Amino acid sequence: MSGNQKKKSSTTEMKELIREKHPDAWLIESVSLESESKADGYGAFTQDKLFIYKLSPEKKLMLINTMNWPEGKSGQVDHFAIKSYFSIDGINLTIANHGKDLQLFLEEQKKDTFTKITRPFYRKIIGFRSKKIGKMVVASFIYLLFIIPFIIGLLGGIVSGIGDITFASKEELQKSEQLLAITEKEADTLKKQIADKDKEIGKLTKLLSEKEKEVQELAAIGEQQKAESQAEIERLKQDMLKKEQAEAEREVANVAQSYTSQQQSPPKNEYYKNCTELRKVYPQGVAANHPAYASKHDRDKDGWACER
């Protein structure tokens, strides 16, 4: 069994043991914590706390550090490649693979806020991220081993290409000039067509503007006619109301005059066979104290005979 297989087996075994101990953990991942001391291992990420473990030679879990999640704090975060670096509340935390999930958890569940750490471009190159001189020298040497053969091959291809260059003949130049002239002629034709289309578009735009203006004028005329119609209707209503009021006043005056004349005239015996004959003399009927009053003409017994 190779070293990688052993390492993978140990990692899987550790994750299984951590899962048995923390079934409520929402994430189990490789983590490095720097606070008062440094702890590297695998972390159990729970809602309230981070537990960091190592595997002993006897294949038992060893708790090497814990951390309560900061709440309502401000910090910095750097996501690069498969790792994410967090700095918050005096704590430096590095996690593999799931840094964005952890940031989302801290922001939504713990109300923490983070600003992104800006890296210079050379800090994004593998070997230069840690700023350690040894790693940077080794990385530069490895990059040169790849770049130098590439440059040599590129230069060789350029030189070979220059050797293969041949000069065009006079006939070929003439053909090229003819093709260029045809292309220029086609371009001029196309420009003319585009200019014609632009003119048509301008005419259509002008026509559309005129139609919109006509529609607005018609709408204004319609509103004016509507207002005039409403004013005419209101005037007719007022005229009808005045006419009805005048007729009512005349009727009241007639009734009052008739009643007054009945009161003032001396009583005399009057007899009418029916209301038709009585209304010929007294169109509005007569009261109970009138000489022409007869109970047979007062059907509703309201003291008024032959009223309409």
Express as a percent the part of the chain with pLDDT over 70: 84
Query: Which residues of the chain form beta strands (DSSP E)?
Result: 27-34, 38-45, 49-55, 61-68, 74-80, 83-88, 91-96, 113-116, 286-287, 304-305
pLDDT average, residue stretch 2-11: 59
Is the model's pLDDT at 66 over the cut of 70? yes
What are 63's two structure tokens? 């708790």
pLDDT band at 122 (very low <50, low <70, confident <90, very high): low
pLDDT band at 1 (very low <50, low <70, confident <90, very high): very low
* pLDDT tens readout for residues 67-105: 999 999 999 999 888 899 999 998 999 998 899 999 999
Q: What pLDDT does 267 receive?
A: 54
More confident residue, 239 or 150: 239
pLDDT average, residue stretch 251-269: 63
Is the model's pLDDT at 27 over the cut of 80? yes
pLDDT average, residue stretch 117-138: 71
Residue spans of the domains in the chain: they are 3-118, 130-156, 200-263, 266-305
What are 29's two structure tokens? 């991942």
Is the model's pLDDT at 162 over the cut of 60? no
Q: What pLDDT does 63 receive?
A: 94
- Across all residues in the chain, what is the average pLDDT? 84
Give how far Cα 71 sits from Cα of 75, 88, 172, Å: 11, 10, 77
For the chain, how big is the Rg over CA atoms in Å?
54
Q: Could you give the CA distance from residue 141 to residue 128 in angstroms, rounded to a whole number?
A: 12
Q: Could you give the CA distance from residue 91 to residue 114 in angstroms, rounded to a whole number?
A: 13
Is the model's pLDDT at 6 over the cut of 60? no
Answer yes or no: are the C-beta atoms of 102 and 95 closer than 8 Å. Answer: yes
Give helix then strand counts, H and E, for the chain: 5, 10
User: Which architecture, in CATH terms, is 3-118?
Assistant: Roll (2.30)
DSSP, collapsed to helix, strand or coil, labels residue 288 as coil
